[in-house]
Amino acid sequence: MSDVTVILNFFNKPVDMLDMQMKALQFQSVVPKYVWGCFLGCKDDELLNAFLKWKDKFPHLDYISSSYNFKYIGRYQLALTAPTPYIIVLDDDRFPNEDFIKRTREVLVKKDCIVGQYGWILDDIKMDINGLFLFPNWMVNKKQKGISFNYNKVNLYSNNIKQEWSNMVIPAPENYIETNMIYEDTKDDDLKNDTLLHVDYLCGGMSFRKSTLSKLFNSEISTTDTGEDIIFCLKAKKEGIPVFCLAPEYKELLFADDRDISSTSSLVILQKRTKIIREILE
């Protein structure tokens, strides 16, 4: 059993997605020592009851439940109490394949960093969902290990926002890729030449050392409505802790499937996230 705590956050996804995620954790090549579930502001106990049915599969399965919605920041507050040196926080639409914990932990042992498999490199206007969105090669049917990307440029404050969505995937500006795709040298870290790409922030989940988590709470947080991923990553980078996208083999993959059920895709939320980005980077 590993020295990893996995923290899950359940809110509005169906029970079968919870079961998919728990089954994926059950069959990890390196199983987590602790599995914690957050049920904050759920409409009823259906998801919690489904989670508790996995108690016989995970000897250290625990939960926190509240009618109050602590938003996304609640799971990171809970992580401060984790009894292990390594923590993985996953959204409820991310499903780890068998070597995900194993490979993520190997990176964290060697490097004090925040690592994930989906992330953003901001462009000069510093708006959420602008710049390069990075993801594993498998999403565009490439079989080789590596990272692919889309370039987006959307003015979230435009008076014609419907037209702006047509810019979700457009050609990147000249030399933008070469300037902004910065890879970490891993040869001296015995990480099997893993592709670690520097990014501004991650989404969908992230892994980190517990000691790094203090960077999230060492100064005032302007909002708890959204953007905990942005706040954590950008604050950590200011403290000299890098944020990486890891390019996985397929068996190491963190698979994504939100079934078009999202709590963070509204224009108001994207604008709030943009405000957070600009406040931290100013």
Would you say 11 and 263 are in contact if contact means Cβ atoms under 8 Å apart? Answer: yes
Range list of H helices, 111-223: 161-164, 176-180
Q: Cβ distance 231 to 243 under 8 Å?
A: no
Chain CA centroid to CA 275, Å: 19
Instruction: Quote the tokens at residue 240.
Output: 């000299």
How far is the C-alpha of 25 from the C-alpha of 147, rounded, in Å? 24
CB 137 within 8 A of CB 247: yes
pLDDT for 264 equals 58
**C-alpha span between 26 and 53 (Å, rounded):** 13
Give me the domains of the chain, ranges plus CATH numbers.
Answer: 4-281 (3.90.550.10)
The arrangement of strands across the sheet holding 201-202 comes to 147-152, 131-136, 119-121, 201-202
d(CA 199, CA 182): 8
Per-residue pLDDT of the chain in tens (282 residues, 90 and over written 9): 689 999 998 887 899 999 999 999 999 999 999 999 998 888 889 999 999 999 999 999 999 888 776 666 777 888 889 999 999 999 888 999 999 999 899 999 999 999 999 999 999 999 999 999 999 888 888 888 888 999 999 999 999 998 888 888 999 999 999 999 998 887 776 776 668 999 999 998 899 999 988 777 777 777 677 788 898 899 899 989 999 999 877 777 787 776 655 555 689 989 999 999 999 998
Other beta carbons less than 10 A from residue 64's beta carbon: 17
What pLDDT shows up at residue 41? 81
The pLDDT of residue 162 = 87
